[in-house]
Amino acid sequence: MSEKPISPLRRRMIEDMTVRNFVEKTHNDYIRHVRTFTAFLGRAPDTAAPEDLRLFQLHQTQIGVRAPSINGSVAALRFFFTVTLDRPEMARHLTFVREPRRIPVVLSLEEIARLLEAAPGPKYKAALSAAYGAGLRVSEVVALKVSDIDSERMLLRIEQGKGRKDRFAMLSPRLLELLRDWYRIARPAVWLFPGRDPLLPLTTRQFNRVVHAAADRAAIKNAAAHRAGQGAQGSLCNAFPATVGIAARLVSHRPACGLAVPGP
Protein backbone atom coordinates (compact mmCIF):
# COMPACT_ATOMS: atom_id res chain seq x y z
CA MET A 1 0.00 0.00 0.00
CA SER A 2 1.58 3.28 -1.09
CA GLU A 3 1.95 6.18 1.30
CA LYS A 4 -0.21 9.25 0.90
CA PRO A 5 1.74 11.86 -1.06
CA ILE A 6 2.95 14.91 0.85
CA SER A 7 1.97 18.32 -0.48
CA PRO A 8 4.79 20.59 -1.64
CA LEU A 9 3.91 23.07 1.12
CA ARG A 10 4.12 20.47 3.88
CA ARG A 11 7.33 19.09 2.43
CA ARG A 12 8.81 22.60 2.46
CA MET A 13 7.83 23.07 6.10
CA ILE A 14 9.32 19.70 7.03
CA GLU A 15 12.54 20.64 5.25
CA ASP A 16 12.62 23.99 7.08
CA MET A 17 12.30 22.19 10.43
CA THR A 18 14.89 19.58 9.45
CA VAL A 19 17.44 22.26 8.54
CA ARG A 20 16.94 23.77 12.00
CA ASN A 21 17.41 20.37 13.64
CA PHE A 22 13.97 20.31 15.27
CA VAL A 23 13.25 17.10 17.18
CA GLU A 24 10.67 14.65 15.85
CA LYS A 25 8.05 15.67 18.39
CA THR A 26 8.29 19.30 17.30
CA HIS A 27 7.96 18.18 13.67
CA ASN A 28 4.79 16.25 14.49
CA ASP A 29 3.31 18.97 16.70
CA TYR A 30 3.89 21.77 14.20
CA ILE A 31 2.43 19.76 11.33
CA ARG A 32 -0.60 18.86 13.45
CA HIS A 33 -1.24 22.48 14.43
CA VAL A 34 -1.01 23.70 10.83
CA ARG A 35 -3.35 20.88 9.79
CA THR A 36 -5.87 21.97 12.45
CA PHE A 37 -5.69 25.56 11.22
CA THR A 38 -6.16 24.39 7.63
CA ALA A 39 -9.29 22.43 8.61
CA PHE A 40 -10.70 25.52 10.30
CA LEU A 41 -9.83 27.71 7.32
CA GLY A 42 -11.33 25.34 4.78
CA ARG A 43 -8.70 26.12 2.15
CA ALA A 44 -4.94 26.11 1.67
CA PRO A 45 -3.19 27.72 4.68
CA ASP A 46 -0.91 29.86 2.49
CA THR A 47 -4.01 31.82 1.41
CA ALA A 48 -4.81 32.93 4.97
CA ALA A 49 -5.26 36.58 5.84
CA PRO A 50 -4.61 38.27 9.21
CA GLU A 51 -8.32 38.17 10.03
CA ASP A 52 -8.31 34.38 9.57
CA LEU A 53 -5.67 34.06 12.28
CA ARG A 54 -7.67 36.24 14.66
CA LEU A 55 -10.82 34.23 14.04
CA PHE A 56 -8.94 30.97 14.53
CA GLN A 57 -7.62 32.02 17.93
CA LEU A 58 -11.09 33.26 18.89
CA HIS A 59 -12.51 29.88 17.85
CA GLN A 60 -9.93 28.04 19.97
CA THR A 61 -10.84 30.11 23.01
CA GLN A 62 -14.57 29.64 22.50
CA ILE A 63 -14.37 25.85 22.27
CA GLY A 64 -12.23 25.65 25.40
CA VAL A 65 -8.80 24.83 24.01
CA ARG A 66 -6.33 25.09 26.88
CA ALA A 67 -3.59 27.71 26.97
CA PRO A 68 -0.67 25.28 26.33
CA SER A 69 -2.36 24.00 23.16
CA ILE A 70 -3.15 27.51 21.96
CA ASN A 71 0.44 28.58 22.53
CA GLY A 72 1.65 25.48 20.72
CA SER A 73 -0.43 26.41 17.69
CA VAL A 74 0.85 30.01 17.87
CA ALA A 75 4.45 28.78 17.79
CA ALA A 76 3.71 26.42 14.89
CA LEU A 77 1.86 29.02 12.83
CA ARG A 78 4.46 31.68 13.48
CA PHE A 79 7.09 29.32 12.15
CA PHE A 80 4.93 28.37 9.18
CA PHE A 81 4.21 31.94 8.11
CA THR A 82 7.57 33.48 9.03
CA VAL A 83 9.91 30.77 7.77
CA THR A 84 8.09 28.52 5.31
CA LEU A 85 5.97 31.20 3.62
CA ASP A 86 8.30 34.16 4.25
CA ARG A 87 5.37 36.25 5.48
CA PRO A 88 6.72 37.53 8.81
CA GLU A 89 4.09 40.25 9.02
CA MET A 90 1.50 37.54 9.81
CA ALA A 91 3.23 36.59 13.05
CA ARG A 92 2.16 39.79 14.83
CA HIS A 93 -1.47 38.73 14.44
CA LEU A 94 -0.89 35.63 16.57
CA THR A 95 -1.05 36.10 20.33
CA PHE A 96 0.42 33.88 23.02
CA VAL A 97 -1.97 33.21 25.89
CA ARG A 98 -0.88 33.60 29.47
CA GLU A 99 -0.88 30.25 31.24
CA PRO A 100 -2.15 30.20 34.84
CA ARG A 101 0.48 29.11 37.37
CA ARG A 102 -0.75 26.55 39.85
CA ILE A 103 0.84 25.34 43.05
CA PRO A 104 2.00 21.75 42.44
CA VAL A 105 0.42 18.94 44.41
CA VAL A 106 2.90 17.62 46.96
CA LEU A 107 2.95 13.89 47.64
CA SER A 108 3.73 12.78 51.15
CA LEU A 109 6.73 10.59 51.93
CA GLU A 110 4.33 7.71 52.51
CA GLU A 111 2.60 8.25 49.15
CA ILE A 112 5.89 8.26 47.27
CA ALA A 113 6.94 5.08 49.05
CA ARG A 114 3.63 3.46 48.10
CA LEU A 115 4.02 4.58 44.49
CA LEU A 116 7.50 3.07 44.22
CA GLU A 117 6.36 -0.15 45.88
CA ALA A 118 3.42 -0.38 43.46
CA ALA A 119 5.76 -0.43 40.47
CA PRO A 120 5.27 -3.71 38.54
CA GLY A 121 8.61 -5.42 38.96
CA PRO A 122 12.28 -4.44 39.39
CA LYS A 123 12.53 -2.77 35.97
CA TYR A 124 9.88 -0.17 36.66
CA LYS A 125 10.82 0.23 40.31
CA ALA A 126 14.33 1.10 39.15
CA ALA A 127 12.99 3.43 36.44
CA LEU A 128 10.64 5.23 38.84
CA SER A 129 13.41 5.49 41.42
CA ALA A 130 15.70 7.03 38.82
CA ALA A 131 13.02 9.55 37.94
CA TYR A 132 12.41 10.56 41.55
CA GLY A 133 15.82 10.05 43.09
CA ALA A 134 17.75 11.83 40.33
CA GLY A 135 15.02 14.27 39.30
CA LEU A 136 14.86 13.00 35.70
CA ARG A 137 12.18 13.65 33.13
CA VAL A 138 10.30 10.75 31.60
CA SER A 139 12.13 11.21 28.30
CA GLU A 140 15.45 11.21 30.15
CA VAL A 141 14.69 8.02 32.06
CA VAL A 142 13.75 5.99 28.99
CA ALA A 143 16.81 7.29 27.10
CA LEU A 144 19.29 6.08 29.73
CA LYS A 145 21.96 3.68 28.49
CA VAL A 146 23.95 1.22 30.54
CA SER A 147 27.05 3.25 29.70
CA ASP A 148 25.47 6.37 31.22
CA ILE A 149 25.94 5.03 34.74
CA ASP A 150 29.19 6.19 36.30
CA SER A 151 29.46 4.29 39.58
CA GLU A 152 32.93 5.64 40.31
CA ARG A 153 31.91 9.29 40.32
CA MET A 154 28.32 8.44 41.34
CA LEU A 155 26.80 10.29 38.40
CA LEU A 156 24.22 9.70 35.67
CA ARG A 157 24.95 11.12 32.25
CA ILE A 158 21.87 12.62 30.59
CA GLU A 159 22.22 13.01 26.84
CA GLN A 160 20.18 15.64 25.06
CA GLY A 161 17.84 16.40 27.94
CA LYS A 162 15.64 19.47 28.16
CA GLY A 163 16.74 22.06 25.63
CA ARG A 164 18.73 19.31 23.87
CA LYS A 165 21.57 19.76 26.32
CA ASP A 166 23.77 17.12 27.91
CA ARG A 167 24.02 17.25 31.67
CA PHE A 168 24.84 15.16 34.74
CA ALA A 169 22.62 14.04 37.63
CA MET A 170 23.60 12.79 41.05
CA LEU A 171 23.53 9.01 41.59
CA SER A 172 22.87 7.92 45.17
CA PRO A 173 24.17 4.65 46.64
CA ARG A 174 20.61 3.39 47.08
CA LEU A 175 19.66 4.22 43.49
CA LEU A 176 22.86 2.58 42.24
CA GLU A 177 21.92 -0.54 44.18
CA LEU A 178 18.46 -0.63 42.56
CA LEU A 179 19.91 -0.13 39.09
CA ARG A 180 22.45 -2.89 39.70
CA ASP A 181 19.68 -5.24 40.86
CA TRP A 182 17.83 -4.59 37.63
CA TYR A 183 20.99 -5.01 35.58
CA ARG A 184 21.77 -8.39 37.16
CA ILE A 185 18.26 -9.61 36.32
CA ALA A 186 17.98 -8.41 32.71
CA ARG A 187 21.56 -7.80 31.57
CA PRO A 188 20.45 -5.04 29.14
CA ALA A 189 22.95 -4.59 26.32
CA VAL A 190 22.53 -0.94 25.38
CA TRP A 191 19.38 0.68 26.78
CA LEU A 192 19.09 0.51 30.55
CA PHE A 193 15.32 0.13 30.27
CA PRO A 194 14.58 -1.64 26.97
CA GLY A 195 11.07 -1.75 25.56
CA ARG A 196 9.12 -4.67 24.14
CA ASP A 197 11.79 -4.85 21.48
CA PRO A 198 15.03 -5.30 23.46
CA LEU A 199 16.91 -3.40 20.77
CA LEU A 200 14.83 -0.28 21.43
CA PRO A 201 14.33 1.78 24.60
CA LEU A 202 11.14 1.88 26.60
CA THR A 203 8.82 4.52 25.16
CA THR A 204 7.59 7.50 27.16
CA ARG A 205 4.03 6.31 26.56
CA GLN A 206 4.76 2.90 28.07
CA PHE A 207 6.45 4.49 31.06
CA ASN A 208 3.60 6.93 31.57
CA ARG A 209 1.12 4.06 31.59
CA VAL A 210 3.12 2.39 34.33
CA VAL A 211 3.16 5.60 36.40
CA HIS A 212 -0.63 5.94 36.17
CA ALA A 213 -1.18 2.26 36.92
CA ALA A 214 1.16 2.42 39.93
CA ALA A 215 -0.67 5.51 41.22
CA ASP A 216 -3.97 3.64 40.94
CA ARG A 217 -2.60 0.58 42.75
CA ALA A 218 -1.09 2.79 45.43
CA ALA A 219 -4.48 4.50 45.90
CA ILE A 220 -2.94 7.92 45.55
CA LYS A 221 -5.63 10.58 45.59
CA ASN A 222 -5.89 13.06 42.73
CA ALA A 223 -3.65 10.87 40.59
CA ALA A 224 -4.55 12.97 37.55
CA ALA A 225 -2.68 15.87 39.14
CA HIS A 226 0.48 13.79 39.11
CA ARG A 227 0.58 13.14 35.39
CA ALA A 228 4.06 11.87 34.62
CA GLY A 229 4.30 13.45 31.21
CA GLN A 230 2.56 15.79 28.83
CA GLY A 231 3.86 14.41 25.45
CA ALA A 232 7.67 14.39 24.74
CA GLN A 233 8.10 17.41 27.06
CA GLY A 234 6.55 15.79 30.21
CA SER A 235 8.59 14.84 33.21
CA LEU A 236 8.21 13.35 36.63
CA CYS A 237 10.46 16.11 37.85
CA ASN A 238 8.00 18.66 36.46
CA ALA A 239 4.86 16.75 37.36
CA PHE A 240 5.95 16.32 40.99
CA PRO A 241 8.33 19.28 41.36
CA ALA A 242 7.89 19.70 45.08
CA THR A 243 8.21 15.99 45.82
CA VAL A 244 11.57 15.31 44.22
CA GLY A 245 13.50 16.29 47.31
CA ILE A 246 11.28 14.05 49.45
CA ALA A 247 11.67 11.17 47.00
CA ALA A 248 15.42 11.56 47.13
CA ARG A 249 15.26 10.61 50.79
CA LEU A 250 13.76 7.27 49.73
CA VAL A 251 16.29 6.42 47.04
CA SER A 252 19.27 8.60 47.90
CA HIS A 253 21.21 10.62 50.40
CA ARG A 254 22.11 13.38 47.95
CA PRO A 255 20.31 16.32 46.32
CA ALA A 256 17.64 15.23 43.85
CA CYS A 257 17.52 17.60 40.86
CA GLY A 258 21.20 18.40 40.77
CA LEU A 259 24.04 17.97 38.29
CA ALA A 260 23.20 14.71 36.38
CA VAL A 261 25.44 11.73 35.27
CA PRO A 262 26.03 7.88 34.21
CA GLY A 263 26.05 3.91 34.82
CA PRO A 264 25.83 0.52 36.86
Report pLDDT digits (tens) over 130-173: 887 788 888 889 989 999 998 888 888 888 766 667 788 888 88
The fold adopted by the segment(s) 8-93 is DNA polymerase; domain 1 (1.10.150)
Evaluate if pTM is beyond 0.85.
no
Question: What confidence tens digit (pLDDT) does each residue in 30-78 have?
Answer: 999 999 999 999 999 999 999 999 999 999 999 999 999 999 999 999 9
CB 85 within 8 A of CB 38: no
Cα distances (angstroms) measured from residue 36 to each of 70, 77, 99, 135, 196: 11, 10, 21, 35, 33
Ordered strands of the 149-150 beta sheet: 149-150, 155-158, 167-170
Query: What are the extents of the domains in the chain?
Result: 8-93, 109-251
The fold adopted by the segment(s) 109-251 is hpI Integrase; Chain A (1.10.443)
pLDDT at 19 over 90: yes
Rounded Cα–Cα distance for residues 243 and 261 (Å): 21
At residue 162, the pLDDT reads 62
Residues sharing a CB contact under 8 Å with residue 131, sequence separation 6 or more, in sequence order: 137, 138, 141, 228, 235, 236, 237
Which range, 83-87, 196-200, 222-226, is most confident? Answer: 83-87
At residue 185, the pLDDT reads 92
Question: What confidence tens digit (pLDDT) does each residue in 77-89 have?
Answer: 999 999 999 999 9
H or E stretch at 155? strand 155-158
pLDDT at 248 over 60: no
